[in-house]
Every structure is written in structure tokens, then in C-alpha cells.
């Protein structure tokens, strides 16, 4: 209660196999929606929610992410010599202050839970946020801010949740719901990727978490779960009953940008939200849908 969250963890060690061949030499998190890489949207959401330290759990082939959050002197020189001041300012604004960002490497992609565990020494003994950059959320108030506001009231663990069609429960961590006021749902149980017939509800966890540091104790057991991976869901489930645990039905639309269809939908939604693209894009969309 009254807790403050300062640190954000970005697990970016996944292989992105659903997006091959694009992700062979390019990290999935560097895929752009309109003109900004997914990881920058996630970083901006975390910064907007008051995060002060940004911890990236990377892997082999992910150096483009580190370069993205650093200066590029040639590029900055070029922009300034051409008087492109807006572009230059935007580029510089995206770079965290010195010492605000840390990178550690998940040497093997053993699962999301293992990726989060790799950040344990950088996080230490305090509550922290986890953001999966491939889940992109379009909302008025940044999703993590909504969660931090709710967690300031409830204390404990908080996950962002949304209802999904029952046939999709096998893609998500699913809540067993206790008390539910339609906004905050008490988490009574959690199960990773259940078959639709076994799923305790259709309320699904998406890639935003506020977690208590005790989760590292459970992750440290390195127990394998669904798909043979070390699952974050399984470690979270062990904290139920020990601390408050809630699912927040956030305001906004979530796009699964690690999936091709979700990525295309996000491109269109974010394109239509841009003043410089809205007219051209909506004209094009109505032309092709009329022709279809």
C-alpha cells in the first residue's frame, strides 16, 4: 500500500520464430509500428508511468536494441548540419540518462520466467514492473500507469487482463477469478495456456505485470511448465494467498505484435491515429475494401 515502483524489466530474449524471416537478424522488438520500434513504445510507456530504471534482458543478436537507446554521433551531426532540429530533438529525447539503463543477457531462451529471473540482482528487493514490448497498447492513460494507480490502492501483485474468445485460452495465462467488481478481479488461481475446456475463465494475462520481489524465489527453482519453458505464470501462481494479487481490466486496445495479424492491425490503428497519415491511410483503406 502506498508502494512505489521504480524499476521496469523488459524481457527481450525471445527468438521471435513467428516472425521469421524478419527476425533472423533483427530483434522482434525492433520491428516498427509506423516509424517507431516496439521497444521504444514500451520504454515510453514505462517512463510515462514514472519508472526511473530500465532493465533489458537481452540475448544474442539483440545489440540493435542497445544501439537504439544510445547516441549516434554521425546521425546527430548530419541532422544538425541540415537543420533538422525536430528530428534531432525526437532522437535525443528517446535516449535514457546515463546510468538509467542496464542490460543483462539471458544466455539461453529458457522461457519468460527465466528471462525475468535473470534481472533479479538488478531489481533487488523491491516491487518492479515487467513489460513485454510485443504487446502494444493503445490507450488514453498508459497501461502501466493505470496498473500503478490501482496497485497503489491494493498493494501486492497486479497483472493487466482482458477477455479473450474461449478458443484462444491456449495462448495465454488465464485467471481463476475470485471477487470481481468488473474493473479489478481478485486472482484466485493462474494457469498457463490451458485448453479451452479446462480454462477456469477467459480472462487472460497480457504483457504488463507489477510484481513483488518474492517472485524471484519461486523463479529460482527453475521448474519447467507449459511447453517445457520456465513460466512466469507458474511462479506468480505461488504468490497467490501470500500477498494481494489482482488483475486489472485496463482501458485501451492491446495488439499482439509478435503475431503477423496483430502487427498489421497495430500498424493500421497507430497509422490512423497519426495526423500526418490519417487521411491518406483511410482513403486507401476505403478504396481497397470497396474494391474487395
Position 204 contacts ligand UTP (CB under 6 A): no
Q: How far is the CB of 122 from ligand UTP (least distance, A)?
A: 14
- Residues 258-287, one symbol each (x = binds ligand UTP by CB under 6 A, - = not), give x-----------------------------
Pairwise CA distance, residues 158 & 244, whole Å: 8
Q: Contact, 116 vs 232, CB < 8 A?
A: yes
Q: How far is the CB of 253 from ligand UTP (least distance, A)?
A: 19
Q: How far is CA 11 from CA 56, 81, 133, 232, in A?
A: 6, 37, 8, 11
| Residue (17 or 289) nearer to ligand UTP, CB | 17
Q: Contact, 246 vs 212, CB < 8 A?
A: no
Say how many residues touch ligand UTP, by CB under 6 A.
21
Residue with the CB atom nearest ligand UTP in the bound state: 14
The interface with ligand UTP within residues 84-113 (CB under 6 A) comprises 106, 109-112
Which of 163, 136, 145 has its CA nearest to residue 269? Answer: 136
Q: How far is the CB of 98 from ligand UTP (least distance, A)?
A: 25
DSSP string, 257-281: TTSHHHHHHHHHHHHHT-TTTHHHH
Position 115 contacts ligand UTP (CB under 6 A): yes
| Residue (59 or 127) nearer to ligand UTP, CB | 59
Provide the 3-class DSSP secondary structure of residue 50.
Answer: coil
Position 43 contacts ligand UTP (CB under 6 A): no
Amino acid at each position: 500500500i502506498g508502494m512505489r515502483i521504480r524499476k521496469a524489466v523488459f524481457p527481450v530474449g525471445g527468438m521471435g520464430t513467428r516472425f521469421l524471416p524478419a527476425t533472423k537478424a533483427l530483434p522482434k522488438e525492433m520491428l516498427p509500428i509506423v516509424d517507431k520500434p516496439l521497444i521504444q513504445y514500451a520504454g515510453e510507456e514505462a517512463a510515462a508511468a514514472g519508472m526511473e530504471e530500465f532493465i533489458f534482458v537481452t540475448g544474442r543478436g539483440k545489440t540493435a536494441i542497445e544501439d537504439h537507446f544510445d547516441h549516434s554521433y554521425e546521425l546527430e551531426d548530419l541532422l544538425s548540419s541540415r537543420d533538422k532540429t525536430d528530428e534531432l530533438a525526437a532522437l535525443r529525447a528517446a535516449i535514457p540518462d546515463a546510468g538509467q539503463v542496464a542490460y543483462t543477457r539471458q544466455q539461453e531462451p529458457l522461457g519468460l520466467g527465466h528471462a525475468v529471473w535473470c534481472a533479479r540482482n538488478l531489481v533487488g528487493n523491491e516491487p518492479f514492473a515487467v513489460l513485454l514490448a510485443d504487446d502494444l497498447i493503445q490507450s488514453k492513460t498508459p497501461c502501466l500507469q493505470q496498473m500503478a494507480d490501482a496497485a497503489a490502492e491494493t498493494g501486492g501483485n497486479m497483472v493487466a487482463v482482458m477477455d479473450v474468445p474461449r478458443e484462444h485460452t491456449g495462448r495465454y495465462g488465464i485467471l481463476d477469478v475470485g471477487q470481481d467488481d468488473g474493473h479489478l478481479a481478485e486472482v484466485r488461481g493462474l494457469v498457463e495456456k490451458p485448453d479451452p475446456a479446462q480454462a477456469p475463465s477467459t480472462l487472460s494475462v497480457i504483457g504488463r505485470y507489477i510484481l513483488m520481489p518474492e517472485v524471484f524465489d519461486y523463479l529460482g527453482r527453475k521448474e519447467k511448465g507449459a511447453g517445457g519453458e520456465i513460466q512466469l505464470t507458474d511462479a506468480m501462481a505461488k504468490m497467490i494467498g501470500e500477498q494481494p494479487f489482482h488483475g486489472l481490466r485496463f482501458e485501451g486496445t492491446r495488439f499482439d505484435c509478435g503475431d503477423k495479424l496483430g502487427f498489421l492491425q497495430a500498424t493500421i490503428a497507430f497509422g490512423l491515429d497519426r495526423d500526418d497519415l490519417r487521411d491518406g491511410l483511410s482513403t486507401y483503406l476505403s478504396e481497397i475494401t470497396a474494391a474487395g
